[in-house]
Structure 1
């Protein structure tokens, strides 16, 4: 068995986070399903039409992710 620590991956697309596409943990899920890319979560929310995690039932928190204060359209943290 390999004891090397595995990198965190998105629970939707199964890819790692990058500086351009960081991983977030917008609910209280833990383990391998804790992380998700913002874009993946937005697509899933459009598909599911729910504002909460279907696994842990925690309501996702929507807050701006930019820092300039003028270009924000709302993001997920």
Structure 2
């Protein structure tokens, strides 16, 4: 389908390092790409959580995801 674009995800990273919530902050212009990025973040991405005083806590991050076709 030759779709390319940049989607920015707003990800709530839990204290355990998993994505607890994922929102589309900026769309790529293609719902299929936006949904693929969001679903991947929720399903399998792992993060290093923020820490305060050595104790992990939930925190929001903006993460750009670029979809680019190669020849």
TM-score when normalising by structure 1: 0.26
Quick one: higher RCO (CA 8 Å, sep 6+), 1 or 2?
Answer: 2
More strand by share: 2
